[in-house]
Amino acid sequence: MKRYSLTVDLKDDVALIAEYEACHKAIWPEIRSSILAAGITDMQIFRLGTRLFMIMETKDDFSFEKKAAMDLANPKVQEWEQLMWKFQQPMPGSKPGEKWLLMKEIFSLNQSI
């Protein structure tokens, strides 16, 4: 198992944030299926203000490149991503089109980094 932490910001709009959370309480079944098919075994998203934090647990053979290729080939995922971009905004320092950015682990109580 591998674990990844990612972050992205939401637009600072109370109504949009509420809509974003509602979308994730009723995630489309095709999106859930695509997440699992990519080798992600668990995913959690947390929010503080406009900052989102995602933890992904994956199978050992998971790769972001493979997931990106699968997502590009899936029209329903593309529709979902377009909808999510309505709520999200680029992080400072991100490249054009980048959404979720991988975070660097700097501390673990159970192991040295």
Range of the domain at 71: 2-102
* Domain at 63, CATH number: 3.30.70.1090
Within-domain flag for 60 = yes
For position 110, what pLDDT does the model report?
87
Q: What is the pLDDT of residues 20-53, one digit of tens each?
A: 999 999 999 999 999 999 999 999 999 999 999 9
Domain tally, the chain: 1
Q: How many residues does the chain have?
A: 113
Within-domain flag for 15 = yes
| pTM of the entire predicted model | 0.90
Contact between 30 and 48 under an 8 Å Cβ cutoff? The reply is no
Within-domain flag for 109 = no
For position 11, what pLDDT does the model report?
97
**Beta pairing partners, 102:** 6
Within-domain flag for 14 = yes
Share of the chain above pLDDT 70, in %: 98
Compute the distance between CA of residue 12 and CA of residue 103 in angstroms, rounded to an integer.
Answer: 22
Compute the distance between CA of residue 39 and CA of residue 33 in angstroms, rounded to an integer.
Answer: 10
Within-domain flag for 110 = no
Compute the distance between CA of residue 25 and CA of residue 17 in angstroms, rounded to an integer.
Answer: 13
Identify the weakest region by mean pLDDT among 20-24, 27-31, 63-67, 94-98.
94-98
What DSSP letter does each residue of 11-34 carry, written as one string?
Answer: -S-HHHHHHHHHHHHT--HHHHHH
